[in-house]
Structure 1
Amino acid sequence: MAKEQLRFTGSGGQGVILGTIIMAEAAFLDGKQVVQSQSYGPEARGGLCKAETIVDDKPINYTKIETPTFLLSLSQNSFDKFSKKLAPGAAIIVDDSVRVPERISQKHEVLRLPIIQSAIDVIGKKVSANIIACGAVNEALHLASQKSMEEAVLAHIPKGSEALNLKAVRLGAKLVQDRRRTE
């Protein structure tokens, strides 16, 4: 596996930090080397948020991401701010409410998915968007086995919400599968 440098972005309160923690743990459970970090403004809820995870088969000596190989954006403002410096050919997943300029979509594989709307319509909870996103990212990049992904999700969610969150992570994978079938 080539080194993957993941950047998750959104608004504070969308769970992007938890998303990168889950991705890192799932990859770790499959024996990969991982590093996770985050940053957000003093606004916390509603302000821009960025969290990152590096996944590699080899030891990770440098833990800062300068040009991500993958970008997830759940809000337009976060996409506009954090999409400026991407690795050549980086993969991008955005919520389908996010507009991606043609200059970016010509250089990168972009999957626009109804992440937030699916959280509302299918799961019944908007806060499930980050778990749906984790399922989508893992399906797109194959960073961890489905078993490890589900185990990592279950380790970080409130008791009593297991079935709902497993449904969400599986829905994220299905969104990517369905989109790729129609392309």
Structure 2
Amino acid sequence: MSLAEEARRTLTDWSAPDPVQDDLRRAYLDHLERHPDGMWRRCASGHLTGSALVVDPAGERVLLTLHRKLGMWLQMGGHCEEGDRDLAGVALREAEEESGIAGLRLLEGGPVRLDRHDTPCAWHLDVQYAALAPAGATPTISEESRDLRWFGYPEVASVADASVVALVEATRELLDRRGASPTAG
């Protein structure tokens, strides 16, 4: 199965949490129908990307990167590459590369949310996941970052934009539904 076919399957199977997210889900599917190259950076009309919010093992903090080019605190993420098999793998690869943390584990259940945003290269149709860091994880700044820092949930709104705040809130809700521990269920 191609990456585009897998993306269509992921988006078709995903249960959006609200009508706004469902509209985005349908827009992503429409984009893939209209743009055979819609998974790739070369698609100037926009392309799907994968990202992951890294959560500490206790479920109390999130790791954000101060993006080198954009100068914003963001979750880890980026473009699909040849050889990627699925969007979850894109998100996990990007999170490990940008955080320097090996052994991240995506939360089960597929994407947490979707976010479409304009960037210097094109529109990003971001498929956002959440990943748990292993115990004792120590982040390492990559060439794509100016800084990496753990933030308590209440701190995120003071440093990040509404998209990151929404991802943090959706991730917290997901963790809360699973019980007190982020590793539960």
TM-score, L = length of structure 1: 0.32
Select the structure that is richer in helix: 1
TM-score (norm 2): 0.32
User: 1 or 2, which has the higher strand percentage?
Assistant: 2
